[in-house]
Structure 1
Amino acid sequence: MDVAAGRPGPAFYLAGDSFPDDVGVERALAPRLTPHIGGWIGQEALAGTPGGFDPGIAARSAQLEAALPDGPALRRVVLIGRSSGARVVTEVACRRPVRAVICLGYPFRRPGAAEEPARFAHLAGIAVPTLILQGSRDAYGTPAAARRYALSDRIRVQALDADHRLRLAAPDWDAACRLIVAFCARAGAPDDLTD
């Protein structure tokens, strides 16, 4: 039996550069997702490793990779990231074949800045099923703007009625988490999201 076909998890969550100011996103996700996944490793747990929280992409990627399990257990892992944390988890997923990746407010482009291919070029080749929940008023890229980038056919972009900070009401978080749970469950199915 394929290891990925069982219950998803654990989930590893990475916040954005504004951590701990954006801790509300993790507090909204964790209690809604934990009943459906095999554990939760949040930003504070990861930042508690030697070196603490470093907002640098390379440092956070190395920290996350060091925390991931080896062998078949890796195929159950779900990586979740908000803003720059989403960039980190997608970069790591390009090297480590996890079950699924969930991005909240992917930072495609800094507002008012020139394009930085390092932010998005790797998304064209990601092989892991990836769900991007993007705010319709996100200054770092709306869902419509996201579709202008070369994205792998493994990526699904879903609009949320939100800005980059993802200040959602409880019912909207409930709906977003239902999408995440269904996506992660389907990522372990035989068709593996290829419709």
Structure 2
Amino acid sequence: MADRNPTTLYIAGDSTVQTYGADRAPQAGWGQFIAEYFTDDLRFVNRAIGGRSSRTFIEEGRLEAILNEIKENDYLLVQMGHNDSTVSKPERYTEPYGAYKQYLKMYIEGARLRKSNPILFTPVGRLHYEDGAFINDFPDYCHAMKQVAGELEVPIVDLMARSLEQYTQLGYERATRLFMISSNGTDCTHITEEGAKCIANLVSQGIRELNLPISRYVK
């Protein structure tokens, strides 16, 4: 019999995590498929939304909405960084070793105040390929997030490293199928349904390796 009060994993993130309707296909986000990589013992609530940074997600009350629902022993999964890096949009930009770290700490502290468990995820890699190698477009944000994880002893999955390694294994031509450039010819940031499933699998494997109480539910 299913648990009537299952552990819930809330997800805060951007367009690479968001759940999309059929009208946006083949665009998808990894949060759309993450439940497929876990048993039914867990419940997922994906609150990721495109165009948000660690800052604007909070300023719009989206973190507060999660914290109003999250319960003891639940989890808050946080992937932020893509939009934080947009200097040309000052309303959402955060300096990686300043405001970005401070906002990340608000997610962590908010979750912990409610006796729930934060997990950080470095930004997923884009399809940026130069001189035979895939490039990390957000190195400072990845490093700053790792600093926060160390300072506050928060579990972290280096999704950037995992995704770039996956693209390398696939090779550039095959990796393009994971991105919307394969559909519209231009977009090397947003991912297809195939890409979202690939990244969701990387997320689940990362959680398995953290050896958390929820790790045993990874398929």
Q: Which has the higher contact order (CA 8 A, sep 6+)?
A: 2
TM-score by length of structure 1 reads 0.49
- Structure having the higher helix fraction is 2
TM-score by length of structure 2 reads 0.45
| Structure number, greater radius of gyration | 2
